[in-house]
Amino acid sequence: MGRIVGAYEQTSTAGETINAFVPKPLPPSNPPLAMDAELSSLLQRAETAIARLKLAGTMVPSLDWLLYSFVRKEAVVSSQIEGTQATLVDLLMYEAAGKAGTVDDEDVKQVCNYIDALSYARKQMRSKNGLPLSLRLLNEAHRRLMKNVPGSNKRPGEIRRSQNWIGGTRPGNAVYVPPPPHLLGDLMGSLEKYIHVKDTLPPLIRAGLLHVQFETIHPYLDGNGRIGRLLITLLLEHWGLLDVPLLYLSLYFKRHRAEYYKRLNVVRTDGDFEGWLKYFLEGIAVIADETVETAQKLFALMSDDRNKVLSMRATSVASIRLFELLPSHPIITIAKAVKLLKTTKPTAIKAVSGLIEAGILVETTGRRRDRVYCYEAYLNLLRAGTESG
């Protein structure tokens, strides 16, 4: 390839002399990005798949609950990539009953923080007086992501002021040593500029370039993977490729994690932006297609089950209302049903029993108290790929 994408700067940290990498600003130059036939066709495939997903989003009767589920899926999987154990079921269990069950609640709280960071950022970008997609916005998202994370001080909301490294036990034996802290202001400034500059490269390509550049800079002490993946989501919305964050791209990174790391790394070592972009665009195409398919299956299931509920002889209005709430609350307790339906306990119990009778809800704990009810068929469709590991 022979493209030079940056330079090494010698710094010393913890008594060692090390070479920290300092990337050149985007876009790739000398030579510029090579749009060969393979890259062009992957780009086209990814663009078509995203457009289809966007259209699917406008055609569903209640986008809200689909969004609710898919945002949770992305949050869970993006957190899992770097070792969080919480699954989608843990998250929904925590939201329904206040405890996760099998994993540490701290793990689930980290996933909740991710959801909080995403919805905060989207709200800012959409409101007239909110922050635009910028370094400040990313910092604020980071502050929410890292809120109350136990252990060492991760400097929530702040660019790091010390040297970090990826892989290995110290900078001297690391896989990668990102830029020294005194250059981060300039580097993040150029990254922010590239988001807003007029560029002839297509937006999906630019999103891919920005993700790898962000990971190369590694501006925070922790949370770089999650904020970098959040950035992709925000960019797709910023450039109007999707109106809402329906794409759970992290699932692709998780499925091909070794290649994810390798591709990021080879951009720096060999200047191979093209190889990274091919991986990235393939991921967008694959996941966008899968997402459309999952949405269709969820809708088919919902309309079948709705018919079941409506055709039951003893069906109650409360059962019907509860059924319509299940897509965004596929795991519930009686207490939760009382709250959601704004009703009495006996009515909530009746609503739940109705849905059990219709074969829609299943009690999963086997306990006599603190029982938990799941919309199992729905969860099974949704949770593909979200188990930990």
Binding window for Mg ion (CB under 5 A); candidates: 50-58, 217-225, 275-283, 336-344: 217-225
222 in contact with Mg ion (CB under 5 A): yes
CA distance 100 to 228: 27
Which residue is it, tokens 């079941």? 308
User: Of the listed pieces 12-20, 66-74, 187-195, 214-222, which binds Mg ion according to CB under 5 A?
Assistant: 214-222
Q: Which residue lies nearer to ligand ADP by CB, 225 or 327?
A: 225
CA 363, CA 379: separation in Å to the nearest integer?
Answer: 13
Polymer length in residues for the chain: 389
Contact flag: residue 215 with Mg ion (CB under 5 A): no
State the residue number with the nearest CB to ligand ADP.
Answer: 225
Residue ranges in contact with ligand ADP by CB under 6 A: 81-82, 166, 175-176, 215-216, 222-226, 228, 261, 264-265
Across 260-389, the runs of DSSP E, i.e. the strands, are 331-332, 361-363, 373-375
- Which of ligand ADP, Mg ion, none sits in contact with 224, Cβ below 5 to 8 A by type? ligand ADP
Q: How far is the CB of 295 from ligand ADP (least distance, A)?
A: 27
Dist CA 74 CA 247 (whole Å): 8
| Interaction between residue 140 and Mg ion (CB under 5 A) | no
Inter-CA distances, 66 with 3, 58, 343, 382, Å: 43, 11, 25, 10
Q: Note whether 387 binds Mg ion by CB under 5 A.
A: no
> Is residue 305 involved in binding Mg ion (CB under 5 A)?
no
Taking CB under 5 A as the criterion, which residues in 81-120 touch Mg ion?
Answer: 82
Q: What's the closest the beta carbon of residue 113 comes to ligand ADP, in angstroms? A: 11
363 binds Mg ion (CB under 5 A): no
Please choose which of Mg ion, ligand ADP, none residue 73 contacts, taking the beta carbon within 5 to 8 angstroms, the exact cut-off set by kind.
none
The neighbouring-strand residues paired with 21 are: 8
Gap between the Cα atoms of 276 and 350, Å rounded: 54
Task: Provide the token pair at 136.
Answer: 């400040």
31: cis peptide before it, omega within 30°?
yes
Q: Residue 81's binding partner, choosing from ligand ADP, Mg ion, none, with beta-carbon cut-off 5 to 8 A by kind?
A: ligand ADP
Beta strand 16-23 pairing with 361-363: unpaired
Of the two residues 82 and 304, which places its CB atom closer to ligand ADP in the complex? 82
Draw the binding track, 256-285, toward Mg ion (x: CB under 5 A; -: no contact).
Answer: ------------------------------
**Residue 178, amino acid:** P
Rounded least distance, CB 107 to Mg ion, Å: 13
Among Mg ion, ligand ADP, none, residue 265 binds (CB under 5-8 Å by kind): ligand ADP
Q: Which is nearer to ligand ADP, 50 or 77 (CB)?
A: 77
Task: Between 67 and 166, name the residue whose CB sits nearer to ligand ADP.
Answer: 166
The half-sphere exposure of 43 on its side-chain side, counting CA atoms within 13 A, is 19
Q: Any residues with CB less than 8 A from the CB of 324 and at least 6 apart, and which?
A: none
Q: How far is the CB of 103 from Mg ion (least distance, A)?
A: 17
CB of 353 to Mg ion, least distance (A): 44
Cβ 142 to Mg ion, closest distance in Å?
12
Q: Is 291 left (phi over 0), alpha (psi -120 to 50) or beta?
A: alpha
Task: Give the phi and the psi of residue 200 in degrees, each rounded to 5.
Answer: -80, -15
When the beta carbons of 23 and 354 are compared against ligand ADP, the nearer one is 23
CA distance 214 to 129: 26
Helices (H), the chain: 37-59, 63-81, 88-97, 105-126, 135-145, 184-196, 203-217, 224-238, 250-255, 257-270, 273-311, 317-325, 334-341, 345-357, 376-382
Residues near Mg ion (CB under 5 A)? 82, 222
